[in-house]
Amino acid sequence: MDDLTGRCALVTGGSRGIGRAIAFALAAAGADIAINYRERRADAEVVASEIRRGGRRAVALAADVASAEEVKRLMATVELALGSVEILVNNAGVAWPVTLDTLDMSLWDSTIAINLTSAFLVTQAALPSMRARRWGRIINISSTAAQIGGIVGPHYAASKAGMIGMTHGYASLLAGEGITANVVAPAMIDTDMIRSNDRARPEKIPLGRFGHVEEVAEAVVMLARNGFITGQTINVNGGVYMN
């Protein structure tokens, strides 16, 4: 297993929930952390401050990662603050539950842009330095909705399924360059996103409870440290979907 000490990790959407737990877990494993956020500056600054108190370097950086120009600026800022991104966690995302009757083109486009296009943009921006070093970890946070449809809607399921296909593409093309690409697909994790959806109930889960954000973060750290796993989807879902 690779030592992550001093590695630079970027976690998009890292100010709360799953992203926050991932940032803390990677820092505990020795990485320096760039916490990306779009609006929640105070929350992101708290995460960065706690990581710095634990002895690792950390910065909180605002950027809309669905914008190519803002991604370019984000990566340049991370480079100046912490060095080149070596571990990329594409976690930024939205889940807007709708009915089939209220799903429209605007919501479709916004969901695809925030959940899928952002991951493509940030990955493309991080790849040149990873390829130059011949070491990198790309970890995309998808959802079990990609496999079973889920409770949010087709727009969300499609965006998360797209992440899995995109990951397979990067994994196959980069396997000979020391760069792995994998997916973590959570379901029913106890976050604001789940608590705000009245269709999310623990009795739907074979294990009988919601998952913890730390359980997702553990899978991310494992993938960051393991150089022989690539092109895989790690399901963290309490048995909702088994493969």
User: Edge to edge, what strands does the sheet with 233-236 contain?
Assistant: 58-62, 32-37, 8-11, 87-90, 136-141, 179-186, 233-236
What integer is the mean pLDDT of 124-131?
98
Would the pTM of this model clear 0.75, i.e. be above it?
yes
pLDDT above 80 (res 196)? no
Q: Which of 37, 156, 170, 241 is catalytic?
A: 156
pLDDT above 70 (res 139)? yes
Residues 12, 4: contact at Cβ < 8 Å?
no
Stretch (H or E) spanning 69 = helix 68-82
Reported as a single tens digit per residue, the pLDDT across 27-82 is 999 999 999 999 999 999 999 999 999 999 999 999 999 999 999 999 999 999 99
Class of residue 110 by CB neighbours under 10 A (exposed 0-12, middle 13-18, buried 19+): middle
Residues 230, 222: contact at Cβ < 8 Å?
no
Reported as a single tens digit per residue, the pLDDT across 178-195 is 999 999 999 988 887 766
C-alpha 175/C-alpha 71 separation (Å) is 25
Polymer length of the chain: 243
- Among this protein's residues, is 241 annotated catalytic? no
Mean pLDDT score across all residues of the chain: 95
pLDDT above 70 (res 197)? no
Percent over 90 (pLDDT), the chain: 89
Stretch (H or E) spanning 141 = strand 136-141
